[in-house]
Amino acid sequence: MTQVVDQVEHIYEEVIRRNPGELEFHQAVKEVLESLVPVLERHPHYAEHRIIERICEPERQVIFRVPWVDDSGRVQINRGFRVQFNSALGPYKGGLRFHPSVYLGIIKFLGFEQIFKNAVTGMPIGGGKGGSDFDPKGRSDGEVMRFCQSFMTELHRHLGEYTDVPAGDIGVGAREIGFLFGQYKRLTNRYESAVLTGKGTTWGGALVRKEATGYGVTFFIDEMLKARNNSFEGKDCVVSGSGNVAIYAVEKIHELGGKVVACSDSDGYIYHKAGINLETLKQLKETERRRIRDYVEIHSDAKYHHGGNIWDVPCVVAVPCATQNELDGDSAKTLVKNGCIAVGEGANMPTTPEGIKVFQDAKVSYGPGKAANAGGVATSALEMQQNASRDAWSFEFTERKLREIMRDIHQACFETAEDYGKPGDYVVGANIVGFTRVAEPMVAFGVV
C-alpha cells in the first residue's frame, strides 16, 4: 500500500512541476489521484502502462488569438483555448466557457474533470474543454457574433463530429452556439450537425439539452435522498447561480416537491421565503439578461443581499450551480449546522477540498459534479445520436432517458464505493468508475 501511495504522490508532484501556476488543475488532479490508490493496488497493470501519467497529460492543447472589432470600431484581442484531453472513449467532448477569469489552468481542470464525467455517463465520448477570457456581459449581440465568428475561424480546423464536439458552459448558451455553428458551416461548407451540441431545437438541437444539467443534478440528488429513504418533498433548498444550470435545477426541484428559497449571481443573492418564482427568474435571466437584484422589484416580499454568502441561508438541500470553489470549508460548516443533509454539484468543482471534508465527516450525502452534473453532457451525447440518425425525439422520451442515465450513474458510483470499502462516498465511486472505464481502452490501444 505505502509503495502505491508513494507512486501516486510522485505522479502528483510531477503534475505540479509540469504545470506551474495552474492551481485549479492541480486541485482537480489531486482529488482524483487520492481515490485511485486502491485501484492501483487491485490492478497493478495500470501502473505498468503508466495510465495515470498519460491521463494527466492532455493529448493536445490549442491556444490562439481571437481578434474582433467592437461596436465603437475598436480592435479587441482575446485568447482562445481548446484542450483535447483524452479520446480513449470517443471524440473529445466538453463545453466552451466565455468568462474573464478563463486561463489555461481553468480549461485544464474542466477538461480533466470532463474525462471522468463523460466516462461515468457510459456514452462514447472523450474529454475536452475550451473557452476564452472574453466577457460577454454588457456586449451587444453584434459584438458577441463577431467574437464567436473570429473564435470559430481558428477553432474550426480542430473540430469535427468524429474529432471534437464542443457545447456550452458559463457564458455560452444557444445564442453563442448559433453564431459558432453558422461560422463553422460557412467555413467548411458542411452541414455537420453533430460538431456542436446545445443547438437550437429548430436546427438540430435536442429537446431537453437546455434543461438537462439542472434536471440531471436534481435527479441525482433525488437518488441520493432515496438511498436514505428520503425525498425532496417539503424541503427548503438553496441553488447558487441563476444561469442555465441553476434555472432548470429550480424548475425540477419544484416539480419534485422541494422549495428553492434562494439563488444568486456574482453580485449577490436573493432570499424568497415563499419560494423562488421560476417565471420571473427565466424572464430576468434568460430573456432580459438582467441582474438577480432586479427580482425584488417584482417580488417585494423577497430580499436581496448584495455580496454576502448564499450558504448562510438555512436549507436541507444545497445545490451549487455557479462556479469553481464557491463553497468553502466555513460555508460547509454553516450548512451542516443549519441541518443540510444533501449536496449535489451542478457546477464543476464548486466545493473546496475543505468543504468536501466537512460534508463527508458530517455524513452529508455529497454528489460531486463529475457524477451529479453529468446529465448535461449525457444529453449532448443523445443530441449527437439523434443528429447521426437524422432523428428528433420527443421531450418526454428524452427526459425519461436522462432520468435513467442519472439513476445508472448514481447506482454505479454507489456500488463502486461499497465495493472499495467506502460506502456512501460518491467521490471515490465516481472517480473509480470514470478512471477504470478510460483506463481499459487505453491499455488496449497500446502506447499512443
> Residues with catalytic annotation?
129
As a whole number of angstroms, the distance between CA 202 and CA 217 comes to 26
**Toward ligand NDP, which CB reaches closer, 91 or 376?**
376
322 binds, among ligand NDP, ligand 2IT, none (CB under 5 to 8 A by kind): ligand NDP
303 forms bridges with which residues in the sheet?
271
CA angle, 282 as apex, 281 and 285 as ends, to 5°?
A: 80
164 forms bridges with which residues in the sheet?
92, 160
Burial 250-283 (b: 16+ CB within 10 A, else e): bbbbbebebbbbbbbbeebbbbbeebbbbebbbe
**Toward ligand NDP, which CB reaches closer, 312 or 440?**
312
Residues 239, 259 contacting (CB under 8 angstroms): no
For ligand 2IT, the binding residues (CB under 6 A) are: 93-95, 114, 117, 167, 169, 197, 348, 376-377, 380
Query: Quick one: which of 86, 197, 348, 398 contacts ligand NDP (CB under 6 A)?
Result: 348
Decide if residue 266 touches ligand NDP (CB under 6 A). Answer: yes
**Toward ligand NDP, which CB reaches closer, 117 or 185?**
117
In the bound complex, which residue of the shown chain has the CB atom lying closest to ligand 2IT? 95
Residues 138, 130 contacting (CB under 8 angstroms): no
Q: CB of residue 182 vs ligand 2IT: minimum separation in angstroms?
A: 19
Task: Burial-class residue 376 by CB neighbours within 10 Å (0-12, 13-18, 19+).
Answer: buried
Q: CB of residue 321 vs ligand NDP: minimum separation in angstroms?
A: 5
93 binds, among ligand NDP, ligand 2IT, none (CB under 5 to 8 A by kind): ligand 2IT
Q: CB of residue 97 vs ligand 2IT: minimum separation in angstroms?
A: 8
136 binds, among ligand 2IT, ligand NDP, none (CB under 5 to 8 A by kind): none
Residues 256, 222 contacting (CB under 8 angstroms): yes
Number of neighbours of residue 421 by Cβ within 10 angstroms: 9
As a whole number of angstroms, the distance between CA 330 and CA 288 comes to 34
Tell me the per-residue interface mask from 159 to 188 with ligand NDP, x by CB under 6 A, - otherwise. Answer: ---------xxxx-----------------
Residues 176, 98 contacting (CB under 8 angstroms): yes
Decide if residue 231 touches ligand NDP (CB under 6 A). Answer: no
Decide if residue 143 touches ligand NDP (CB under 6 A). Answer: no
The site for ligand NDP (CB under 6 A) is made up of 99, 101, 168-171, 213, 241-246, 265-267, 321-323, 346-348, 373, 376
